Every structure is written in C-alpha cells, then in structure tokens.
C-alpha cells in the first residue's frame, strides 16, 4: 500500500501574547488628551527641577529698584512683585513646592489608604465594621477644619503640611481599596493561595495589593491635583507655606491682593496652576479609560 503524502504548510512564527498591561499602555498612548497631559507634566517637572538654576535671580532676592517691574523689563521675564523679587524665580520655586506637596502627601495617603482598605476588605466581619466606622467618623469631620487643627496644634511647617493633608486624603482611597478587595478575595487565585497554606498577611501583600494597582494608579493621578488645591486653599488663608518660601497657592493669594497694581502677579501663577491640574486630570482620565475601556 502506497503511502499518501499530505502536504504541509509552514507554521507561522510564534506570536508573543500581549499582557493586559501592554494593551492598557497602547490604549493610553492612543489617548491624545492623556499624552498631552504627560507632555505637559514632564515639562512642568523639568522646569521645576532645572528652572531655578537657569534664572539669574533667586526666589527670595529683594531688589527695591525693581518693585512692580512689568514683564520683560529690567531683566524680569514675568515681572517682579512688591519687594522687587523676580516672579519667574518665585513661580518655579512655588511649582517645585506644590508638586512636592502633592506627591508626598499623596504617597502618605496611598500607604495608609491601601493598607487600611486591604486589611478591612480581606478580613471582613467585625474588623471590617470597626475599621470602616472609623473612616465614617473621620469623614464627618470637616476636612479643612481638621487640617487647620493639626497645623495650629503642631505649628505651620512644610513637613506638617505633607502629613496633615495626607492624613485626611486617605479616607476615599481606603474605601476604593476595600471595595476592590471584597471583589478580589472571592477569586479563584485567592482560594488557591489559601489552599496552599499562605498566611493572611502573605495573601494581602503578594496577591491582593498587586491586583489593586490599576484603580489605585487612577486615583493617585486624581488625588495629586486635589492635594495641590488643598494646599493652595490653606496658603490662601495664610496657613500654608510661609514666606519667604512660595507655593502656587501663596503666589495666587499675593497676586489676588495686588492684581490692580500688577496683573502679572495673579495671571502667571493662575495659568501655571491650571496647566498643572489639567495635566494630572488628563492623565487620570486616560489611565481610567486604558485600564478599563468598558468604563467610558
């Protein structure tokens, strides 16, 4: 019996599978608003870090001969304030402080909120009830009143601003993390981890927290501008960053007082604040759409 030769075709080259994070990254990079936000944010960070070294003035240098100097006069690109201090130098320094406060305070709220929400959601029962009732009680306290109370009690300094704002911003983070944890702990891989004999601490750290990364990243990008706004409000009340240091909030507050004499003291810090907040919001919206494209 003759054998029948069956024609064969060459197999296609192996196609490497794409992970969910690869797909999310591609969707994010196709989002023009998010890419624009990232470009703006990079420019702002570079300006805040490198800019003060390039400006020929320091943020606290007083020059009585340059009082109320308009933009593009006497060497001041953005003008000078009531003490003859260069606005560009103070704006770059203020941007640096505001970004630092936003990121550090958000990091504080991230650590507390993720730990609190993950533990409450995973353990459940009485522990969950007690921990979330504490969150509800803290929610009932006026945000600004609580921050002002901390600052009046312990004094006003930039480190306390980090802690005070971060200490109240974690509440919403904990609720988001708790809700996600309640959903995750019913998944099969968590049951498999329990069957493998992993402790509760190991399951939370190695399985629950890493799978919370998506929604946490989105909320972080939206928390940073909220923290910057909170610091700006405190500075507007005179309880934020203290002179001669500056933040975007203190510059806007000073510009509002002197806007009839020097419009540039209000316009340029306000524009910087708007661009900063828009960049974070664009990135946050883009991340949300990229991580969960159905939620659009």
Q: What is the pLDDT of residues 134-166, one digit of tens each?
A: 998 888 877 677 777 776 776 666 777 777 777
Q: Does some domain include residue 177?
A: yes
Q: What CATH number corresponds to the domain at position 162?
A: 1.10.3720.10
Q: Does some domain include residue 210?
A: yes
Q: Does some domain include residue 153?
A: yes
Average pLDDT, the chain: 83
Task: Name 45's Cβ contacts closer than 8 Å, sequence gap at least 6.
Answer: 99
Q: Does some domain include residue 119?
A: yes
CB 229 within 8 A of CB 138: no
Chain mean position to CA 56: 31
CA 22 to each of CA 25, 27, 294: distance values in angstroms, whole numbers, following the listed order: 5, 9, 17
- pTM for the model: 0.81
Tally the domains of the chain: 1
Which of 266, 277, 238 has the alpha carbon at shortest distance from 87?
266
Q: Does some domain include residue 245?
A: yes
Q: Give the residue numbers spanning the domain of 29.
A: 22-55+86-291
Residue-level pLDDT at 18? 59
Residue-level pLDDT at 155? 66
Determine phi and psi for 43, rounding to 5 degrees: -60, -40
Separation CA 275–CA 205 (nearest Å): 36
Q: Does some domain include residue 44?
A: yes
Q: Does some domain include residue 72?
A: no
Q: Buried (b) or exposed (e) across 143-182, using 16+ Cβ within 10 A?
A: eeeebbebbeeeebebebbbbbbbbbbbbbbbbbbbebbe
Q: Does some domain include residue 282?
A: yes
Separation CA 79–CA 91 (nearest Å): 11
**What residue ranges of the chain have pLDDT lower than 70?**
1-21, 143, 151, 154-157, 292-296
CB 86 within 8 A of CB 97: no
Query: How large a percentage of the chain has pLDDT more than 70?
Result: 89
């Amino acid at each position: 019996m003759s054998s029948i030769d069956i024609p064969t075709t060459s197999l296609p080259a192996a196609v490497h599978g794409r992970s969910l994070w690869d797909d999310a990254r591609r969707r994010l990079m196709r989002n023009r608003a998010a890419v624009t936000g990232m470009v703006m944010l990079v420019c702002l960070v570079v300006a805040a870090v490198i800019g003060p070294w390039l400006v020929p003035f320091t943020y606290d240098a007083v020059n009585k001969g340059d009082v109320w100097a308009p933009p593009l006069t006497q060497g001041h690109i953005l003008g000078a304030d009531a003490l003859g201090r260069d606005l560009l130098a103070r704006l770059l320094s203020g941007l640096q402080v505001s970004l630092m406060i936003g990121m550090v305070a958000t990091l504080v709220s991230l650590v507390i909120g993720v730990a609190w929400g993950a533990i409450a959601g995973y353990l459940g029962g009485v522990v969950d009830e007690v921990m979330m009732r504490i969150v509800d009680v803290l929610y009932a306290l006026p945000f600004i009143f609580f921050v002002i109370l901390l600052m009046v009690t312990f004094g006003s300094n930039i480190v306390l601003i980090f802690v005070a704002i971060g200490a109240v911003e974690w509440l919403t983070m904990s609720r988001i993390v708790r809700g996600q944890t309640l959903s995750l702990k019913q998944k099969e891989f968590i049951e498999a981890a329990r069957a493998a004999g992993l402790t509760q601490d190991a399951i939370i750290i190695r399985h629950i927290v890493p799978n919370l990364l998506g929604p946490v990243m989105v909320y972080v990008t939206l928390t940073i501008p909220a923290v910057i706004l909170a610091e700006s409000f405190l500075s507007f009340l005179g309880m934020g960053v203290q002179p001669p240091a500056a933040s975007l909030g203190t510059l806007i507050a000073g510009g509002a007082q002197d806007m009839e004499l020097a419009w540039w003291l209000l316009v340029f810090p306000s524009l910087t604040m708007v661009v900063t907040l828009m960049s974070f919001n664009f990135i946050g919206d883009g991340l949300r759409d990229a991580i969960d494209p159905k939620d659009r």
